[in-house]
Amino acid sequence: EDHVPNGCGKGIYAYTLNSETGEIEQTYVTNGITNPTYIHFDAEAGIVCAVEETYDTQGEIISYSVNDGGSLSETSRQSTLGFASCHIESCGDSIIVSSYASGSVASFAHSK
């Protein structure tokens, strides 16, 4: 059985770590993204990009700005033009996404 359609998370989760006690607390979870399996964080630009890994529809690459306190605000959403999108990576002013079910690669503009 393939793992892709079985993702059950609600979105992208953010946690804080209390370095004194070792406690971890969930502080935020996005909504509106299906099975976000690969994530790229650009600390310098304060941007998070994630891909939806889906088999029955084309996935999407979704960009978020990081707000004070760690919450995310969606800034853009585009089709990856592929199925089971994964392996997201920054390359200069571009984000590269590969999709293994369709065997495709796509490049998206990424401003810092």
**pLDDT tens profile 34-92:** 888 899 998 888 889 999 888 778 889 999 999 888 889 999 999 999 888 888 988 87
Domain ranges of the chain: 34-112
88 vs 107: CA distance, rounded Å: 10
Q: Contact, 80 vs 105, CB < 8 A?
A: no
Average pLDDT over residues 2-23: 81
Two structure tokens written together for 66: 């990081």
34 vs 88: CA distance, rounded Å: 16
- Among 54, 52, 50, residue whose Cα is nearest residue 66: 50
Residue 7 confidence (pLDDT): 65
Residue 1 confidence (pLDDT): 46
**What is the pLDDT confidence band of residue 26, given thresholds at 50, 70 and 90?**
very high
Average pLDDT over residues 87-107: 88
| Torsion sign (Cα): 56, 86, 100, 35 | negative
Two structure tokens written together for 83: 């199925």
